[in-house]
Amino acid sequence: MAGERAPLLKKGSASTSNAKLYLATFSAVLGNFSFGYSLVYPSPVIPYLQVEDNPNLRMDTPHIAWFGSVFSLGAAMGGLGAMLLNDKTGRKMSIMISAVPSTVGSLLLGAAQTRWMLYLGRILTGIASGMTAASIPVYVSEISSPSVRGVLGSCPQVTAVFGSLTLYALGLLLPWRWLAVAGELPALLMLVLLCFMPKSPRYLISKGRQEEALKALEWLRGRDADFISELQKIERSISSQGHISWSDLAKPCYYKPILISVTMRFFQQMTGITPILVYLEPIFHRTKVTLEPRYDAALVGAVRLLSVMIAASLMDRAGRKRLLFTSGFLMFLACQALTIYTHTTPCPSINITHSQLHTPFSILQSHGVQQSPPFDPITVIPLLSTMVIIFGYAMGWGPITWLLMSEILPLGARGKASGVCVGVSWVTAFILTQVFMHVVEAYGLFVPFLFFSVVAVINILFTALCVPETKGRSLEEIENYFRTGRKFTINQS
Q: Flag whether 105 is in a domain.
A: yes
**Residue 346 half-sphere exposure, CB side, CA atoms within 13 Å?**
7
Q: Flag whether 292 is in a domain.
A: yes
CATH of the domain at 348: 1.20.1250.20
What is the pLDDT averaged over residues 89-104?
Answer: 92
Q: What is the mean pLDDT of the chain?
A: 79
Q: Flag whether 85 is in a domain.
A: yes
CA–CA separation, 22 vs 475, rounded Å? Answer: 19
Mind listing the pLDDT tens digit for each residue in 6-42? 444 344 444 445 788 899 999 999 999 999 999 889 8
pLDDT winner (highest mean) among 58-62, 115-119, 306-310? 115-119
Contact 162, 32 (CB under 8 A): no
Mind listing the pLDDT tens digit for each residue in 173-196? 888 899 999 989 999 999 999 999
Three state DSSP letters for the chain = CCHHHCCCCCCCCCCCCCHHHHHHHHHHHHHHHHHHHHHCCHHHHHHHHHCCCCCCCCCCHHHHHHHHHHHHHHHHHHHHHHHHHHHHCCHHHHHHHCHHHHHHHHHHHHHCCCHHHHHHHHHHHHHHHHHHHHHHHHHHHHHCCHHHHHHHHCHHHHHHHHHHHHHHHHHCCCCHHHHHHHCHHHHHHHHHHHCCCCCCHHHHHHCCCHHHHHHHHHHHHCCCCCHHHHHHHHHHHHHHHCCCCCHHHHCHHHHHHHHHHHHHHHHHHHCCHHHHHHCHHHHHHHCCCCCCHHHHHHHHHHHHHHHHHHHHHHHHHHCHHHHHHHHHHHHHHHHHHHHHHHHHCCCCCCCCCHHHCCCCCEEEECCEEEECCCCCHHHHHHHHHHHHHHHHHHHCCCHHHHHHHHHHCCHHHHHHHHHHHHHHHHHHHHHHHHHHHHHHHHHCCHHHHHHHHHHHHHHHHHHHHHCCCCCCCCHHHHHHHHHHCCCCCCCCC
CA–CA separation, 115 vs 45, rounded Å? Answer: 13
CA–CA separation, 355 vs 233, rounded Å? Answer: 65
Q: Flag whether 162 is in a domain.
A: yes
CA–CA separation, 254 vs 408, rounded Å? Answer: 10
User: For the whole prediction, is pTM greater than 0.75?
Assistant: no
| pLDDT category of residue 345 using cuts at 50, 70 and 90 | low
Residue 430, C-beta contacts closer than 8 angstroms, at least 6 positions apart: 69, 70, 72, 73, 75, 76
CB-based burial label for 83 (10 Å; 0-12, 13-18, 19+): buried
The angle that helices 115-143 and 61-88 make with each other, rounded to 10 degrees, is 40
CA–CA separation, 456 vs 420, rounded Å? Answer: 23
Q: Flag whether 215 is in a domain.
A: no
Mind listing the pLDDT tens digit for each residue in 246-257? 666 667 777 888
Written as one letter, the residue type at 7 is P
CA–CA separation, 196 vs 201, rounded Å? Answer: 15
CA nearest 431: which of 159, 148, 75, 120? 75
Q: Flag whether 69 is in a domain.
A: yes
Percent of the chain with pLDDT over 70: 81
CA–CA separation, 404 vs 470, rounded Å? Answer: 8
Q: What is the count of structural domains for the chain?
A: 1
Percent of the chain with pLDDT over 90: 20
For residue 363, the model assigns a pLDDT of 33
Cα angle vertex 267, ends 261, 268, to 5°?
85
CA–CA separation, 155 vs 115, rounded Å? Answer: 34
pLDDT over threshold 70, residue 233: yes
Q: Flag whether 224 is in a domain.
A: no
Greater pLDDT, 296 or 276: 276
| pLDDT category of residue 4 using cuts at 50, 70 and 90 | very low
Q: Flag whether 296 is in a domain.
A: yes
CA–CA separation, 27 vs 24, rounded Å? Answer: 5
For residue 359, the model assigns a pLDDT of 39
Residue 59, C-beta contacts closer than 8 angstroms, at least 6 positions apart: 46, 49, 50, 52, 67, 115
pLDDT over threshold 60, residue 374: no
Residues in a beta bridge with 369? 364
CB-based burial label for 346 (10 Å; 0-12, 13-18, 19+): exposed
What residues make up the domain containing 36?
19-197+242-484
